[in-house]
Each structure stands twice: as C-alpha cells, then as structure tokens.
Structure 1
Amino acid sequence: MKNIVLIGFMGTGKSTVGRLLARRLGRPFVDSDKKIEMWHGMTIKEMFAQHGEAYFRQCEQEAIARLARYRHAVIATGGGVVLLEENMFRLRQHGVIIALTAELDMILARTSRKDVRPLLNKGEREKTVRELLNGRIERYQQADCVVDTTKLSPPQVVEKIMDFLQQGGYLRGRYNSAPRRP
C-alpha cells in the first residue's frame, strides 16, 4: 500500500493531522522535519542560523530520498518540500499526495509563535507568508487531493482524507469510517 504524504504551507496542520491519520489507519507516522533534526543533530532553526536555507534544503532533499522509500507510512513534509521537483517525483513514486491548505489569516494565527519558523523571522510576517505562499500554492494544487483546513478541526480533516482515500481505492474497504456521533 502507498504512503500517504501530506504537503502544504506551514501552519496548515500537516503534523497534527498526520498523527491522527496514522493512528486511524494503524500506520507509522513520520515527520520529515523531525527526521532531519534527528539525522543532523540540530534543530531546523539552528541549521538556518549556522548554515543557511540552502544547507537545510540539501538536508531536506536527502531526507526525502530516504523517506520516499518507506512503505505504508503517513509522512508529513515541510512546507518547502514542493520547491524541488525531484522531491515530489520521489514522494509520488510510492505515495498519494494530500495537500493541506488554509487561508492567509489562519496561517498567520497558527504560526504566530516567535522564533519557531526560521523563514518567518525576518521582516513583516504577513508579507513574507504571502510571498512564500504565492510561490508555492500552484505546486500544492498539483496534489492528488487538496483539503482546506481553515474551518475544519483536525478530526474533520482526517475524515475528508479518509473519504478521498476510500473513494480513490487506496484503502480497498479495509478501513471503515469512524462511527459518526448523532
């Protein structure tokens, strides 16, 4: 069975939804940013500060090459993974790509903690987010499925993804939707 790969801008819920989805499907959850930090012995913030974005992107590319070979996993990627076509090619080989999106105001609210997101620690946050998002949105839209998380709770996002996976034949009836409460 294919991996389920979550892509999308920072603050769209990839890690939270990924953990819930993996639990629901009984699959391992992998966060690419956490793997990069583990494999390189430093945080992403430290990578940006000490070596710059180009170094981080190289580490990310190497991590994606490794993670793309996983099977049956739910993989949450960093927001910029779509910047390199090779990353997406590798992830698509053994995965179904699900993009999580959100409106600008929601992304700003969800990413408001200072010093956590290296790309947002310079200048005007709203302008930076808008520019980064505009440069990536077309690539996010190329996913097999796109879910807007703006007005949905993480469990609701999981339901939308489950519906897509079942309708697309990715689950082959083995997984049933969770019982809905009245």
Structure 2
Amino acid sequence: MKKNIVLIGFMGTGKTSLGRQLARRLGYRFIDTDQAIEEVTGKTVAQIFRRDGVIRFRSEENLLARKLAGQSGLVIATGGGMVLNEENVALLGQNGILIGLRADPEVIVSRVKNKKHRPLLHRGDLRENVLKLLREREGVYDVAEYTIDTGKLSFHEALNELYKYVRQKGC
C-alpha cells in the first residue's frame, strides 16, 4: 500500500501548488482539503466561515481526515489549520508521511496579499493577522517528520527536495 504524502503548514507556504506537481511526478492522486470541503458542502471556505462558523469548518476537516485516512497513493495539501486537531494529525499519519512547509512571515504576506478567499486574514491589517496566527500556531506544525522552507528555495528546488525525500521513504 502506497503511503500518502500529507503537506502541512501555514497558508501561503505552497502546499497546493507543490502538492499538485509532486502528485503528478509520483503518479499519485492530488487532494486539496479546502477544495474537497467546498465540493462536499457546495460552499466556499469563506462562505462556511462566514455563514456557519469556524467550528463547522473544523468539523468538515475532521470528517475529511477520517475519509482520507483509509486511502492510499494520495498527495494531500491540508488547510493551514487542519493540524490544530490532534485527531486529524493521528488520522492523516496512519498511512501518511507528514511533511511541513514553512516560510517567513514576509514571504507569506507577499504570497497571500491578493488572495481574497482567506477568511482568517483579510479583516484588518494583513501582516498583523499573519503574525498573530503564526504566534497562535507556534509548534503546531512540528508534528511533521520533515520540513522544507519554501521561502528560501525556488519552486523547482522545493519540488525536487520534496520528491527526493519521499522517494527515500519508499513512495
């Protein structure tokens, strides 16, 4: 059974873009958890946050983690807050290699500044919101067995680094 590759990290660190390319290179299926939740609910992430609240969104993440835990051969790009729930971490780790992606706050701000679908960021000052969330989530992404700083590497360098690591792990 092929292990899943689970990309975790703060928003704007490249989980979706790198995950999509990594899946293509490995011949795995790609899942973006936010997109999967949007498909199931028929609402955007921003709509879920606005209409139903953060607790509803986090419960959708947990349902999805349960579903994905039983599958294999996936590259999963998680939403930035999915690993806030320890059960999600355990579920995704059952048949998955958790890989962290990180970047400095300035890099994150530059990557997300024009993306209006980030409900946790676009109320008030963007940079302050990023710094606040990073402080609140300090240590959360340490559950990853391997971490890459995507702010210090080009896209292709980061992709090659990911690919090399998962191949060493037998994926």
For residues 89-128 of structure 1, the aligned pairs below 5 Å read: 89-128=90-129
| Structure 2 match to 1:156 | 157
Query: Do residues 73 (structure 1) and 74 (structure 2) align?
Result: yes
Paired letter, 1:46: Q
Deviation per residue, 1:146-179 (Å, 9 max, x gap): 0000022222111111222233x323xxxxxxxx
Deviation at 1:116, TM superposition (A): 1.5
Matched position secondary structure for 2:47: helix
Distance (Å, rounded) in 2 between the aligned partners of 1:153 and 1:102? 12
| Structure 1 match to 2:50 | 49
Q: Which sections of structure 2, spanning at least 5 residues, go unmatched? A: none
Range moving further from structure 2, 2-11 or 148-157: 148-157
Paired letter, 2:170: Y
Paired letter, 2:156: P
| Structure 2 match to 1:180 | none
Query: Do residues 3 (structure 1) and 10 (structure 2) align?
Result: no
Range moving further from structure 2, 2-11 or 107-116: 107-116
| Structure 2 match to 1:26 | 27
Q: Give TM-score scaled by structure 2 length.
A: 0.94
Deviation at 1:114, TM superposition (A): 5.0
Deviation at 1:92, TM superposition (A): 0.4
Distance (Å, rounded) in 1 between the aligned partners of 2:78 and 2:127? 22
Paired letter, 1:17: L
Say whether the 8 Å CA contact 1:9–1:79 is kept in structure 2: yes
Deviation per residue, 1:20-71 (Å, 9 max, x gap): 0001101111111110000001101111111111111111111111122220
Matched position secondary structure for 1:141: helix
Give the ranges of 4+ consecutive aligned residues of structure 1 lying more than 2 Å apart after TM superposition. none
Q: Which sections of structure 1, spanning at least 5 residues, go unmatched? A: 172-182
Aligned length: 170
| Structure 1 match to 2:170 | 170
Distance change in 2, residues 1:154/1:40 (3 Å)? same
- Percentage identity across paired residues of the two chains: 43
Matched position secondary structure for 1:42: coil
Paired letter, 2:89: M
| Structure 2 match to 1:174 | none
Distance (Å, rounded) in 1 between the aligned partners of 2:143 and 2:11? 17
Matched position secondary structure for 1:15: helix
Say whether the 8 Å CA contact 1:82–1:136 is kept in structure 2: no
Matched position secondary structure for 2:58: helix
